[in-house]
Structure 1
Amino acid sequence: MGILIFLLIGAIAGWLAGTIMKGRGFGLVGNIVLGIVGAVVGGLLFDLLGVRSGGFVGSIITATLGAVILLYGARLLR
């Protein structure tokens, strides 16, 4: 059951980040990958700032912010 929640959070966060940054998502697999990588980036950033977020909604917020930062960084490199 945990892996399904993990994938769901990744899909939601990736879709939200895609919508925020470019107006649409990246497809189901792209959203999941973006959300999972965003969760790592967001988790590292939140740890550096000393911010704690827990629960389902906190995980979505963390992953979404990380994915937005990731997309912004990729846009700067391009």
Structure 2
Amino acid sequence: MTPGGIITALIVGLIIGALGRLVVPGRQNIPLWLTLVIGVVAALIGSAIARAGGFADTDGWIDWRELLLQIVLAAVGVALAVGFAGRGRRSVTR
């Protein structure tokens, strides 16, 4: 992968991660770098699923089904990350 491709993947991952974070209700106490990682992974997995499903090739145009799939995967990833991050921070109130 070229340096330009890496930078593009990071930018797309950040956008997908941020959109996924917006879909999840409530406050998410996860760092920005984790949102970026979740977004990049969701974008890669979503693209792979779209290719396997046969709807990834749009001749240079945005395929909204692929984008929606990536956002849903990012939202699931953010929700899982928030769930795992919240487990160790619970305090007992008396």
Same fold, judged at TM 0.5 (above): yes
**C-alpha RMSD of the superposition:** 3.4
Partners in 2 of 1:36 and 1:50 — Cα distance? 21
**Which amino acid counterpart does residue 68 of structure 1 have in structure 2?**
A
The 5 A counterparts of 1:35-46 are 35-46=39-50
1:6 and 2:9 matched:
yes
Question: Could you tell me the TM-score, scaled by structure 1's length?
Answer: 0.63
1:64 and 2:71 matched:
yes
- Greater helix content: 1
Q: Structure 2: where are the runs of 5+ without partners? A: 85-94
Greater Rg over alpha carbons, structure: 2
Match of 2:22 in 1: 19
Do the aligned residues in 2 keep the contact of 1:10 with 1:36 (CA within 8 Å)?
yes
Question: Could you tell me the TM-score, scaled by structure 2's length?
Answer: 0.55
Partners in 2 of 1:18 and 1:66 — Cα distance? 11
Q: Structure 1: where are the runs of 5+ without partners? A: none
Q: Any runs of at least 4 consecutive aligned residues in structure 1 with deviations exceeding 3 A, and if so which?
A: 23-27, 53-58, 69-72
Do the aligned residues in 1 keep the contact of 2:17 with 2:38 (CA within 8 Å)?
yes
Q: 1:27: how far off?
A: 3.9
